[in-house]
């Protein structure tokens, strides 16, 4: 039985079930003959026994399917050139970089660490975009030396690049980021397109930037970038975004800049719980493509290369986390707490964004008798709660809990709070599991500690 497409989706009628971002579980999820959850032919409780818990698990099939959906949808709906870029801030690793590169996608990065990971993961330099609202001198130097496109976010970027690039050397390839002033219904902390944002130049500054770059010899403006938020379920704001971007494109070309790239960012949401209803990848790309085509056509503009930057919708539903259940606390008439061996250090999203997830027992996912419990983490914070008031079967210490939809912004935002080591990550595919990130050990947390000599007793 296909767990992802049937058991978790009995409430659906006419949704596009081929789009991975509309599943709760990875698309390879099934129930085996013993009624245990398997992903890509791997038993989750078996993976827990082999690698330990907490454990991040990524389904390669879901990642590749998501990449193909973006690439093929852009080819189908956009009549000009296009390129989908994986937003690696969602989850960055050598293995993920290699997978998305092999699927013909580019990648966007926001730090030296993410850039090095992309380069060593085999992403071609002409398919890497470097973002950031406070780039360091060394980061900009590394990006320029590797000939990746640099996104200008502010005047400090311009000032630093002017001292990095000599006028007689190869010009820096630049993309101008601006805030389009478009709101969308998402969490306040992940809205990035409104006027009050730390990202990008204000819309009113754009023309002055175009004038400024008429006299700059060390770089050329080849693209525009705008992004309106994350975990978005709406498509209409992207029509508004296309109109604004086409208007700025026309202005830039009027000033003689060779702008031939429009990067609309990413932000497509995924399904975390049954009530979530995000657009499919295909329908999102269709709206964006048609909107850019119409906006450019209305202004008699030659079609630019269309870029988008999906992150969550590539890896979110491809990922899950498994935990071992530990202690239990019952407060009669109020609440029952079940504690797991992880929490806010491996998934900070619930305490940060009040994010919701779907959870099941790995070996008894559909047992009819269920109890309402709250899944708490092991950290020294009252707010360290992964799931509030969820229904799961009666369980005991040592049972394996599965939390779906953790592929994006879990590992990448993880921490060592309470000096707890980070979990391992495994990639599963066709019955095989490969370790792609080692589990930290407690001793690893001391590797950067230094005890001053004066604290060490001398004989």
Catalytic residues: 380
Instruction: Determine the angle formed by the axes of helices 137-145 and 155-164, rounding to 10 degrees.
Output: 60
Angle (nearest 5°) at CA 272 between 269 and 275:
95
Decide if 257 contacts 221 (C-beta within 8 A): yes
Q: Is 330 exposed, middle or buried (0-12, 13-18, 19+ CB in 10 A)?
A: exposed
Residue appearing with tokens 């082999």: 50
Strand bridging mode 400-404 / 319-331:
antiparallel
**200 three-class SS:** coil
Tokens of 84: 């989908």
What tokens does 207 get?
Answer: 């023309």
Sole residue written with tokens 């937003």: 87
Q: What is the DSSP string of 296-335?
A: HHHTTPPPPEEEE---HHHHTTTEEEEEEEEEEEEETTTE
CA atoms within 13 A on the CB side of 57: 36
Q: How many CA atoms lie within 13 A of 183 on its CB side?
A: 4
| Count of other CB atoms within 10 angstroms of residue 2 | 14
Q: Quote the CA–CA distance of 12 and 35 in Å, as a whole number.
A: 23
Could you tell me the CA-to-CA distances from 80 to 227, 246, 342 in Å, in that order?
21, 14, 47
- DSSP H helical ranges for 307-453: 312-315, 349-353
Decide the pairing of beta strands 319-331 and 335-340. antiparallel
Q: How many CA atoms lie within 13 A of 433 on its CB side?
A: 22
Parallel, antiparallel, or unpaired: how do β-strands 385-393 and 319-331 relate? Answer: unpaired
Give Dmax over CA atoms of the chain in angstroms. Answer: 83
Instruction: Name the burial class of residue 249, with classes exposed (0-12), middle (13-18) and buried (19+) by CB atoms within 10 angstroms of its CB.
Output: buried
């Amino acid at each position: 039985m296909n767990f992802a497409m049937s058991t978790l989706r009995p409430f659906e009628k006419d949704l596009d079930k081929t789009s991975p971002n509309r599943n709760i579980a990875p698309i390879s999820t099934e129930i085996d003959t013993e009624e245990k959850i398997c992903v890509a032919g791997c038993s989750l409780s078996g993976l827990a026994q082999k690698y330990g818990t907490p454990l991040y698990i990524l389904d390669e099939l879901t990642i590749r399917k998501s990449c193909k959906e973006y690439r093929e949808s852009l080819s189908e709906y956009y009549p000009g050139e296009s390129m989908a870029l994986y937003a690696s801030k969602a989850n960055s690793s050598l293995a993920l970089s290699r997978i998305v590169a092999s699927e013909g996608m580019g990648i966007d990065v926001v730090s030296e660490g993410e850039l090095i990971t992309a380069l060593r993961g085999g992403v071609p330099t002409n398919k890497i975009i470097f973002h950031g609202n406070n780039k360091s001198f060394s980061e900009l130097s590394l990006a320029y030396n590797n000939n990746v496109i640099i996104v200008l976010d502010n005047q400090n970027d311009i000032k630093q690049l002017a001292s990095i690039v000599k006028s007689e050397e190869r010009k820096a390839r630049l993309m101008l980021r601006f805030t389009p002033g478009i709101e969308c219904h998402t969490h306040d902390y992940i809205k990035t397109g409104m006027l009050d944002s730390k990202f990008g130049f204000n819309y009113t500054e754009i023309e002055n930037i175009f004038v400024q770059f008429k006299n700059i010899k060390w770089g050329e403006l080849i693209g525009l970038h705008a992004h309106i938020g994350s975990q978005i379920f709406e498509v209409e704001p992207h029509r508004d975004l296309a109109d604004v971007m086409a208007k700025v494109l026309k202005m830039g070309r009027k000033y003689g800049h060779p702008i031939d790239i429009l990067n609309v960012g990413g932000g497509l949401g995924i399904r975390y719980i049954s009530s979530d209803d995000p657009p499919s990848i295909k329908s999102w790309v269709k709206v964006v493509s048609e909107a850019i085509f119409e906006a450019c056509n209305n202004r008699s503009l030659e079609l630019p290369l269309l870029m988008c930057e999906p992150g969550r919708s590539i890896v979110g539903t491809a990922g899950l986390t498994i935990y071992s259940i530990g202690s239990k606390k019952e407060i009669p008439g109020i609440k029952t707490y079940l504690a797991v061996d992880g929490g806010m250090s491996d998934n900070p999203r619930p305490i940060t964004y009040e994010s919701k997830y779907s959870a099941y027992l790995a070996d008894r996912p559909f047992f009819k008798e269920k109890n309402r419990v709250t899944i708490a983490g092991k950290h020294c914070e009252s707010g360290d709660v992964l799931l509030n008031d969820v229904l799961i079967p009666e369980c005991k210490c040592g049972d394996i809990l599965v939390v779906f939809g953790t592929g994006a912004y879990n590992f990448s935002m993880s921490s060592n709070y309470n000096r707890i080591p980070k979990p391992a990550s495994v990639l599963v595919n066709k019955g095989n599991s490969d370790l792609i990130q080692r589990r930290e050990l407690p001793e690893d947390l001391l590797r950067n500690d230094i005890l001053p000599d004066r604290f060490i007793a001398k004989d």
